[in-house]
Homo-oligomer: A and B are copies of this chain.
């Protein structure tokens, strides 16, 4: 859900020079982007500026990332989440498994909490980013659906499975949005638990 971008430069030793350079360029572009956005904001930052600071040509930027939004938003963590979900005991209720990996994902994102916050900020400020984020959430949803389908003994293309999954994604996206709108003060773990409770048992009556 929330990614890591700053890869330690030493953890890929056996790769060829070509591959290593690619990774370097990729992170250079991302870092340049994050820096510029914090200085000037998202819209004010042009791809040309990004290219300049990353010391590559604009063409190269687009070779690495299809759109400007993707520079900020791409995770490589979807499949990791999927694997972790699969690693949970097969007889565990899937909602319980989801709860587990969500909290794990939150732990990871806390390590990168600068970026988590920047993204949250962009999400409520920049419509294009929000839209792109929803896109990527629905991709995550597809992966989730496969695992949920396994557990439920159903097909991943099942309407029921897909609806269940995307309703989950929708609810969780709203948690993030809520958190961002309220100044990122609340504890995301707590909010997530409240959300999962609603999704499992429906709206509890009254309270305020």
Contact = CB atoms under 8 A, between A and B. Distances in A.
Nearest to A190: B159
Interface residues of A, number: 44
B130 A161 contact: no
Nearest to A67: B127
A204 interface: yes
Contacts of A169: 170
Contact of A162 (B127, B178, B204): B178
- Copies of this chain, how many? 2
A50 B88 CA distance: 54
Contacts of A191: 159
Contact of A175 (B153, B158, B159, B204): B159
A194 B160 contact: yes
A8 B138 CA distance: 38
A20 interface: no
25 contacts: A131-B132, A131-B134, A131-B135, A134-B134, A134-B138, A152-B205, A154-B203, A154-B208, A159-B178, A159-B191, A159-B195, A160-B195, A163-B174, A163-B194, A163-B198, A163-B199, A164-B171, A164-B199, A166-B170, A166-B171, A166-B174, A167-B170, A167-B174, A170-B171, A200-B202
Interface of A: 127, 130-132, 134-135, 138, 148, 152-155, 158-171, 173-175, 177-178, 191, 194-195, 198-200, 202-208
